[in-house]
């Protein structure tokens, strides 16, 4: 992987990871257009740059992470369903990740969900995450399991779960950001473990690409988070729904036309 390719993918990761539009779907299009081979390092890279995105959440919300222990208990409870299902169905999830058609369909269907989400839930009435119950946290965590289907979007699923629990748009989005920290950290560590376990080593270029990728993802994700919270608080999710439908149709159309699509 070249450094420029890493920068492009990191920008896409930074923008799409916390928006409800599926980072996987955009990686499919970008990597295919650039002709990036889906080798073991590239697959590691697309997961490892999530670390930069994680740091953006910590940088923006550091005060929240220095508060009481109950905050971490809530995150732990919400994280459990994804951890359990991820461990039990890892092979099946990896198989789905290789199928671009699944990504396109998930984007398309999820787009219609976002179109009607504001109508179904309104803006909620629970703003303070300190009042979130353990049962609510677990329920939101169950929705994160759905995001294991590539193209669904972890952000979209957990925000949907939060609004289903009567959180406001802002509170649901922020809890989705917080929940991303243990989830994405665990995914990054596990992917690194697999890479090293299989006998791979990092050369100078690999370290450079990972470093640049994480730095770019960190900066772009900070900007995306700030813009996203303000946008959804004011306008809701309909625009993201239409966008997902267009991108989903594009991937489905390319797939049916026989254009080779790589899921990195």
Specify the pLDDT at position 29.
79
Specify the pLDDT at position 233.
86
Spans of all domains in the chain: 3-256
Q: Which residues of the chain have pLDDT under 70?
A: 37, 94-98, 262-264
| Spatial contact of 229 and 221, defined as CB atoms under 8 Å apart | no
Specify the pLDDT at position 176.
94
Instruction: Decide: helix, strand or coil at residue 35.
Output: coil
* Rounded Cα–Cα distance for residues 100 and 38 (Å): 13
Q: Look-up: residue for tokens 């690999």?
A: 206
* Rounded Cα–Cα distance for residues 210 and 110 (Å): 31
Specify the pLDDT at position 92.
74
Residue 205 CA: distances (Å) to CA of 44, 75, 197, 210: 14, 36, 20, 9
Please, which residues bridge with residue 126 across strands? Answer: 167
pLDDT digits over 95-147, tens only?
A: 666 688 888 999 999 999 999 998 899 888 898 888 999 999 999 999 999 98
* Rounded Cα–Cα distance for residues 122 and 99 (Å): 34
DSSP 66: G
């Amino acid at each position: 992987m070249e450094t420029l390719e890493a920068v492009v993918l990191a920008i896409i990761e930074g923008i799409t990871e916390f928006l409800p539009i599926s980072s996987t779907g955009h990686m499919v299009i970008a990597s295919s257009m650039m002709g990036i081979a889906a080798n073991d390092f590239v697959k590691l890279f697309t997961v490892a740059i999530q670390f930069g995105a994680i740091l953006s959440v910590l940088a923006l919300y550091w005060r929240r992470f220095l508060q009481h222990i109950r905050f971490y208990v809530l995150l732990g409870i919400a994280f459990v369903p994804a951890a359990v299902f991820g461990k039990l169905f890892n092979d099946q999830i990896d198989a789905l990740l290789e199928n671009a058609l699944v990504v396109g369909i998930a984007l398309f269907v999820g787009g219609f969900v976002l179109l009607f989400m504001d109508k179904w839930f309104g803006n909620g009435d629970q703003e303070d995450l300190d009042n979130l119950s353990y049962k609510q946290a677990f329920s939101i965590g169950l929705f994160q399991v759905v995001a294991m289907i590539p193209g669904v979007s972890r952000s979209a699923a957990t925000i949907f779960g939060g609004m289903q629990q009567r959180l406001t748009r802002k509170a649901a989005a922020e809890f989705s950001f917080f929940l991303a920290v243990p989830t994405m950290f665990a995914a990054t560590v596990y992917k690194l473990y697999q890479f090293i376990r299989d006998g791979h080593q990092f050369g100078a270029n690999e370290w450079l690409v990972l470093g640049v990728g994480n730095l770019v993802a960190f900066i772009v994700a900070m900007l995306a988070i700030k813009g996203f919270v303000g946008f959804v608080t004011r306008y809701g999710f309909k625009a993201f729904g239409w966008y997902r439908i267009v991108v989903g149709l594009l991937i489905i159309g390319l797939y049916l036309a026989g254009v080779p699509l790589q899921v990195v």
